[in-house]
């Protein structure tokens, strides 16, 4: 139980800290705005330096594909269109439960607008209990709980492709359609994985994306409250005090306060909030994350959009970004989804609601499992004494 009386004594210090931090953040934002204006004139020179020294730069950065001052109005989508989304949830394995297993639940949503068709709102559960599912990841030093989340990422992409390629009949192929996922299409976590582990996650994802590419259905990742700084890091090339941006020679330890970190910890969204009006998007960027070297011709592009309630980061594969008509259509459908969802895409929100495993669902899952185990002739089926005591208090 949280003791609010004791906690209140610490609130004054926290309040003072936040006041000072807000003032410092305003100063960093003004500095970033000035650097952005200066970068308008030297954008191509910065890109050339970035490309020349890319193997010596030690921080994640992106390349602007359009002028930095770009502010484009997002087009209004047609009344007839379709939006598809998936999201996932899970029940983690627990040695104190009646059986050591885990469950993935992938929420599926297909919303047809202006077509007089029923939506699809359901989920696909899958339980994992075999030793190869539970313990295989340990050979790579990956905890089962982490591996479960990686598997969920691949399943979300696979199910999304299946929906996108099967939900439209041949006569409906010309209907504008958008496939959406919650979160980034850049799987940063893969950088830390051994090659064998990575090869079990990334290839199914890229194959699913290729299926959507063949079907000409644009894929989009929607990031709310993004913490990304790839755009800000491009401005670090302008703030660099050394003759060339050779981090390996001049600033090998990026954890230290190096000269170009004048904006840290300012995020991209904070800067673009000062540049965009509701309904506008900023310039298109190409991410240079190292993991994208494994994506082949499906590298990731992104831009920031003022959706009215916040600055959202939108990510798409190269085949969407390089097709102007497809990209513009996808952006229009995305903004309409945000408006229908009162600040967040309704299809993604509904996919989450279909996927989430609540306390009652978890209890019913283990009750069903218990009945099956008893039916199979197993004895002494039940939770550990520790788990049983945690579920209730006698004090």
Q: Each residue of 9-59: pLDDT tens digit?
A: 888 788 888 888 889 899 999 999 999 999 999 999 999 999 999 999 999
φ, ψ for residue 169 (rounded to 5)?
A: -80, 165
Where does the chain have alpha helices with state H? Answer: 4-41, 43-52, 131-135, 144-166, 195-198, 202-214, 230-239, 247-250, 268-272, 318-321, 324-340, 346-355, 359-375, 385-390
For residue 59, how many other CB atoms are within 10 A of its CB? 17
Before 265, cis peptide (omega within 30)? yes
The pLDDT-based confidence of 145 (bands split at 50, 70, 90) is confident
Nearest to 273 by CA among 308, 302, 235: 308
CA distance linking residue 107 with residue 266, whole number of Å: 34
Nearest to 320 by CA among 286, 369, 355, 273: 286
**For residue 3, what pLDDT is reported?**
86
Assigned token pair, 110: 């297909």
**For residue 8, what pLDDT is reported?**
83
pLDDT greater than 50 at residue 316: yes
pTM of the model: 0.89
CA distance linking residue 301 with residue 296, whole number of Å: 13
pLDDT greater than 60 at residue 387: no
- Every domain of the chain with CATH number 3.30.2170 lies at 73-228+267-355
Q: Poorest-confidence range of 8-22, 48-62, 150-164, 264-278?
A: 8-22
* Distance spanning both ends of the chain, measured CA to CA: 13
CA distances from 27 to 19, 35, 193, 239, 271 (A): 13, 13, 39, 15, 12
Assigned token pair, 48: 């050339």
**For residue 318, what pLDDT is reported?**
98
CA distance linking residue 109 with residue 332, whole number of Å: 19
Nearest to 275 by CA among 64, 46, 3: 64
Higher pLDDT pick, 10 / 114: 114
Q: Poorest-confidence range of 143-152, 153-162, 175-184, 373-382?
A: 373-382
**Domain 73-228+267-355 class in CATH:** alpha beta
Q: Poorest-confidence range of 40-49, 210-219, 359-368?
A: 359-368
């Amino acid at each position: 139980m949280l003791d609010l009386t004791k906690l209140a004594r610490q609130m004054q210090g926290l309040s003072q800290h936040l006041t000072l931090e807000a003032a410092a953040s305003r100063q960093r934002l003004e500095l970033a705005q000035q650097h952005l204006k200066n970068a308008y004139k030297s954008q191509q020179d910065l890109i050339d330096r970035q490309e020349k020294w890319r193997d010596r730069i030690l921080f994640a950065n992106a390349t602007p594909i359009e002028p930095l001052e770009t502010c484009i109005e997002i087009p209004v989508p047609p009344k007839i269109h379709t939006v598809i989304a998936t999201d996932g949830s899970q029940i983690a394995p627990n040695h104190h439960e009646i059986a050591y297993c885990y469950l993935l639940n992938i929420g599926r949503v297909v919303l047809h607008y202006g077509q007089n068709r029923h939506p699809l709102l359901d989920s696909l559960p899958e339980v994992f209990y075999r030793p190869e599912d539970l313990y295989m990841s340990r050979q790579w030093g990956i905890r089962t709980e982490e591996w479960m989340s990686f598997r969920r990422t691949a399943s979300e992409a696979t199910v999304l492709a299946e929906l996108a390629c099967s939900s439209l009949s041949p006569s409906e192929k010309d209907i504008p359609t958008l496939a959406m996922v919650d979160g980034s299409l850049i799987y940063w976590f893969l950088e830390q994985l051994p090659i064998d582990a990575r090869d079990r996650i990334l290839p199914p994802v890229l194959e699913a994306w290729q299926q959507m590419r063949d079907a000409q259905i644009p894929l989009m990742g929607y990031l709310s409250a993004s913490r990304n700084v790839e755009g800000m890091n491009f401005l670090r090339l302008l703030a660099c005090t050394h003759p060339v941006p050779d981090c390996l020679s001049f600033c090998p330890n990026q954890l230290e306060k190096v000269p170009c970190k004048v904006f840290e910890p300012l995020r991209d969204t904070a800067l673009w909030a000062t540049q965009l009006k509701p309904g506008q998007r900023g310039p298109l960027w190409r991410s240079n994350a190292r993991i994208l070297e494994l994506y082949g011709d499906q590298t990731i592009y992104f831009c920031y959009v003022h959706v009215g309630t916040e600055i959202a980061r939108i990510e798409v594969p190269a085949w969407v970004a390089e097709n102007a008509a497809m990209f513009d259509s996808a952006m229009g459908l995305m903004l309409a989804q945000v408006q229908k969802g009162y600040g967040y895409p309704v299809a993604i929100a509904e996919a989450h609601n279909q996927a989430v495993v609540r306390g009652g669902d978890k209890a019913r899952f283990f009750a069903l499992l218990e009945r099956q185990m008893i039916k199979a002739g197993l004895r002494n089926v039940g939770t550990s004494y520790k788990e049983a005591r945690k579920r209730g208090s006698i004090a």
